[in-house]
Amino acid sequence: MASTCIDILALPNTSNIIGYGIEIVATVDIATLIEQAGEDFGLQYFTASEWSMANGMRRIQYLAGRFCAKKAILKALGMELNQKTFWLDIEVQRLPTGQPSVVLHGQCHEFADRLGIGKWLLSISHVSDYAAASAIAVL
């Protein structure tokens, strides 16, 4: 039986957590949206960098993971999901280690600054049928 070791020092003080969001989506739903809207879907929900990184056999999984991450980040910010959501103000990048990171622009950046968010903990996971993401906003 395998055991998991968690580095307690790496975990944030829970009193420093501003918000938490989690999201899961069926990859077929993202594939359908892309089929219906094509490039317009990409331009509405993903930055140019995110869209260009989505290539290869796992393109839909990659985009579904980024979509989930953005929704989880919006939830952590306490921002309502509606037609005025600023999807392009949220960019999910990959650090050299492979770890996903959050870069906020525009109104999302301003909102996070007002909340005092100084760090993001982001996790993205996907398999062929589903993608999921979890985001924690920390002081």
CA distance linking residue 11 with residue 66, whole number of Å: 23
| Cβ partners under 8 Å of residue 52, min gap 6 | none
Question: Cα–Cα distances in Å, from 107 out to 30, 54, 77, 88, 134?
Answer: 25, 25, 11, 10, 21
pLDDT for the residue numbered 130: 98
pTM score over 0.85: yes
Which pLDDT tens digit goes with each residue over 38-95? 888 888 999 999 999 998 889 999 999 999 999 999 999 998 776 567 899 999 999 9
Domain ranges (residues) in the chain: 16-138
Percentage of the chain modeled with pLDDT above 70? 88
Cα distance between residue 124 and residue 133, in whole Å: 4
- What's the distance, CA 21 to chain centroid? 9
State the architecture of 16-138 in CATH terms: Alpha-Beta Complex (3.90)
